[in-house]
């Protein structure tokens, strides 16, 4: 890598605002807020709205769309395609 052209890549703690789950990872994001992690070190803390702990797709709370009804309605409006 060329020196001096890449952003500072360092450990950061992300906290989910709705569930309170926290995880330590590496990022270029910075914050003035800090948190002491279980290893005793202090890391920047970034609070985010949605993570995999609260997103409906990952938690299984996603709604199931009635795709069959939509397809049938499309065929009624525009007809079936003949080959």
Segment 3-46, tens digit of pLDDT? 889 988 999 999 988 888 899 999 999 999 999 999 999 999 99
Report d(CA 57, CA 61) in Å as an integer. Answer: 6
**pLDDT higher at 19 or 61:** 19
Is residue 31 included in any domain, yes or no? yes
pTM exceeds 0.85, yes or no: no
Q: Answer yes or no: are the C-beta atoms of 52 and 58 closer than 8 Å.
A: yes
Per the structure, the count of domains in the chain is: 1
Residue matched to tokens 């279980």:
38
- Boundaries of domain holding 7: 1-62
Look at residue 16 and give its three-state secondary structure: strand
Report d(CA 42, CA 40) in Å as an integer. Answer: 7
Is residue 20 included in any domain, yes or no? yes
Is residue 5 included in any domain, yes or no? yes
Is residue 76 included in any domain, yes or no? no
């Amino acid at each position: 890598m060329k020196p001096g052209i890449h952003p500072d890549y360092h450990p950061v703690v992300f906290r989910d605002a709705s569930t309170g789950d926290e995880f330590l990872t590496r990022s270029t994001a910075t914050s003035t807020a800090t948190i002491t992690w279980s290893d005793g070190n202090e890391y920047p803390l970034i609070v985010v709205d949605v993570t995999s702990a609260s997103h409906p797709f990952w938690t299984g709370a996603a709604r199931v769309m009635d795709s069959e009804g939509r397809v049938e309605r499309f065929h009624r409006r525009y007809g079936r395609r003949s080959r």
